[in-house]
Structure 1
């Protein structure tokens, strides 16, 4: 029996349905259903876990005292901090970034003025793929789904008038994560701040790109080498910088269910733990800097149970399998974003309700920071009005509802505790299967993970089309004559302005310095030196994102994913 199988066996032995429920069902419920002509049917959550009509004391795991514990105490089921939101509310991050750096700078300042407590930057498709704004493949996409960053000059304009030592910034970037991190660090240095004082998060989770979002530049091994270099560099030089935000969000948006999001995200996280250890780092020196990014979807109790199970699995595996001793290594810290795939272009104001429910699930699940989607995001990037409503949603939940007044208010719930353990067990079964296949990288390269998600997504769509699942305004309560809403529009002028400023930069920079720093980076990539200092040198000389990415393309080559269907 391997490690994962032992955990599955442990949970199975703790979950037994008691006789009191069976007696109540036979003596009371069944006769009542018959008397009232109730046509009983089965209920399932999104992960196809069967939901009973009632849970009682006998549904609690037999080892509930050991696995539940208290907040701030291993295994952190009830939260990673002793006083949770009584001590500090979750960080409110609204996804920002569109058009030109100047437009994004205005949005960031607008959100700060309206009470946002953490910045979160989205980047456009050219940036995500490592192309400059003037590349022909960038045409029509510059600034459309996020801000364009082609050089350090763009980063300087995004944060103009914003002190990086006083804010925490999250950047949703993966394939070129090392380059954007280098730009942020270079800007901090220009502002006069030592890296020791700079805090924030860069997503950098390339494994989920191959699983779900499909935005990579190089083969997996090359990206993982760059992530390893960033981990080592930041561990030694930027102790407040979270260099990997392991992202289940995009796995869920690609069509997975909650258990798959839980299992595949943690599998990615454990791989990064292995990566750091194999790079010669002590697990307790770098594991505390790994954070997570989860989706909060519409199945309220399932999402809460997912977050609790994630904390417990991470803590247990770090302690038992990786011999972590630092409590912070075992604390799964996570950011949450409400679901995008539950947003509908039909009856878009309904999305405010969906987002509110999903935000409540994230808070009751113990998130450390939260992004609430805007009601118009099924149409376009959010408008100022919509993003303010989304931010106010969090502020009302925090200040008016009492939801933050007590720690883990659903802890001990028969249903929540049972569901948490059932999701934990199913996640361990996936982790066991992934190990049997030789690890997460092999599971990705074989297409196994992608096929599991595709099959789940297909079945969900069939349930919607067959009216087995309901989506209000889409397959039920439909309105025929819906009118378009006002949306944020990114003009062609924004792209032209960005390209013109980019060309001006290239004219005034010292091209000899650029060539020299790029050649030094090439040598580092071809060898085994840590590439981060060379990437920082290159961006400080105003080498562009594409110029830096192209060095990697020449050294590492490119990659195509396997066929999955």
Structure 2
């Protein structure tokens, strides 16, 4: 330490320090001051580089937001395809630049709306999509070659994606013109979100089948969105979100290579999805470290040659788990800060949560405020006028380095357990996240961590807020629609396509063409999932006590 720093430290130590806590949302201690000694080992060319140049710490494009703003992509979907179509048109009219589909739980779990297990859940937390008919309605009067669409679906991703591609086909739009993202990330389901259907091996087969099919037929499509968001929402720290997400990403790269694909044939269409939590600088450091780690591993470990294979492009959503039911207007402020962290961290697209999302699906007014938050950020704050403005900050660069070092340590532990699948089987990820969530909750209960409106600055009176309510008639109407479809379609053709899908699942051919044939015949999602369950079986998590 320099003599100058030691002189300051003596003055600081003589002062009374207010009660903290002086640690991040992830419980990482923060020093009172960061200086040259903290970041002394940084080599600009090796560790930072210019924007759009290896290792991409400062951004994936040379001009970043001076060339193009991030995509404003609000997560939406509720009730039936008819109501969601109306919400999409509203959002587009308000200046949204990309669509993002939320599906209901029966769709996520592979059940048709008329299945007994779907009862009471149809259209509740997202839109109900049973067949191509619903997908056509969802995007009616929306030209699919004019919008980029993201779909948050995992276990049945191959089927839902096929419905989208065929819906575009029905509009006269060839697949090679489509742009968007399918989440398609089953590993994080086993780790955190728990919305699985099939065991890991056939699930990974479906994912690599999408990689291979998209390369030849839908080349502009992001074939997977490797998601840390749900890992963080389950209680993980920022470091765990970073490390576990990238570990999943590397597992998908290895699966693609094992399936016979060249890394540069599919890696350019891999994308990521991160959380933006409340600790401003920790989140920015996380994004910067993520780009650097991904680029280094792709180049040095997996031998990627194309620049596009080294670029970590990611979508961000503000932290749903940070929202509070009491004083819901406070969530507008939380979301604004989280959105700014995502932008200063270099995100390619962004969803801002609505203030009422902790209570219900967002109302139209709340969605508009959330979208306006992004627009004010983009057009009024000035944060888009220069690239990576926090580069060189002793604090940010130190935290970026710590994120990278911590992630590498996690990678070593995961490798020792036999990789991601081995670590899942050992419940490693699940235990790490549970421990972090428990520690966070203890900090709240002890008031070592203040959450405004929850454990301090509490209002006794409950605020009244208009919430979106789903009419029970929505479910009855959707059930009637799917039953009517099953009676009116050519069921001989449907059965033939399902038989072909079953035979293909027993072999090793790419399954996507067979799925698309069944979609074109108006086979339902539930029918296709049932066929695949016969061959693949269902996943059961091993409980650990």
Q: Which residue of 2 aligns with 1:365?
A: 345
The change in CA–CA distance for 1:465 and 1:41 in structure 2 (over 3 A counts) is: closer
Q: Are 2:32 and 1:53 aligned?
A: yes
Matched, 1:171 2:151: yes
Instruction: Tell me how far 1:313 sits from its aligned partner.
Output: 0.2
2:309 aligns with one of 329, 343, 353: 329
Contact 1:451 1:564 in 2 (8 A): no
State the match for 2:42 in structure 1.
63
- CA deviations 1:103-136 (Å, max 9, x no partner) are 0000000000000000000000000000000111
CA distance in 1, matches of 2:450, 2:463: 22
Counterpart CA distance in 2 for 1:470 and 1:42 is 9
Match of 1:524 in 2: 504
Moved more, 492-501 or 37-46: 37-46
CA 1:213/1:42 → structure 2, altered by over 3 Å: closer, same or farther?
closer
CA apart distance, 1:26? 4.3
User: Retained in 1: the 8 A contact 2:326–2:463?
Assistant: no
1:450 aligns with 2:430: yes
Q: Please say if residues 61 and 417 of structure 1, whose CA atoms lie closer than 8 Å, have aligned partners that are also in contact.
A: no
Q: Which residue of 2 aligns with 1:159?
A: 139
CA distance in structure 1 between the aligned counterparts of 2:535 and 2:125, rounded to whole angstroms: 29
Shift of 1:178: 0.1
Alpha-carbon distance between aligned partners in 1 of 2:518 and 2:82, rounded to the nearest angstrom? 23
- Return 43-52 or 256-265, whichever deviates more: 43-52
Query: How high is the TM-score relative to the length of structure 2?
Result: 0.98
Structure 2: segments with no counterpart, 5+ residues:
none
Structure 2 CA distance for aligned equivalents of residues 250 and 220 of structure 1: 18
Task: Find the counterpart in structure 1 of residue 466 from structure 2.
Answer: 486
Distance in 1 (CA, whole Å) between partners of 2:175 and 2:369 is: 35
1:49 deviation in Å?
2.3
Secondary structure (helix, strand or coil) at the match of 2:226 reads strand
**Matched residue, 1:226:** 206
| Residues matched between the structures, number | 544
CA distance in 1, matches of 2:5, 2:344: 31
Contact 1:450 1:564 in 2 (8 A): no
Separation in structure 2 between the aligned mates of residue 459 and residue 499 of structure 1, nearest angstrom: 44
User: Alpha-carbon deviation of 1:395?
Assistant: 0.3
| Among 403, 419, 429, the residue aligned to 2:383 | 403
Task: Name which of 401, 404, 413 aligns with 2:393.
Answer: 413
CA contact under 8 A between 1:61 and 1:421: conserved in structure 2? no
Q: What do residues 33-86 of structure 1 show as CA deviations (whole Å, max 9, x unaligned)?
A: 1xxx44676622133322111111221141331201110000000000001001
Q: Which moved more, 1:500-509 or 1:541-550?
A: 500-509
Superposed CA RMSD in Å reads: 1.1
2:112 paired with 1:132: yes
C-alpha distance in structure 2 between counterparts of 1:415 and 1:20, whole Å: 20
1:237 aligned partner:
217
In structure 2, the residue corresponding to 1:415 is in which secondary structure? helix
How much does 1:28 deviate?
Answer: 2.1
* TM-score (norm. length: structure 1): 0.95
4+ residue segments displaced more than 4 Å: 39-42
For residue 465 of structure 1, what is the aligned residue in structure 2? 445
Give the corresponding residue for 1:8. none
Q: Per-residue displacement from partner, 1:477-521 (whole Å, max 9, x unpaired)?
A: 011111331100001011111111111211110000000000000
Shift of 1:20: 4.6
Q: Equivalent residue for 1:23?
A: 6
Alignment correspondent of 1:504: 484
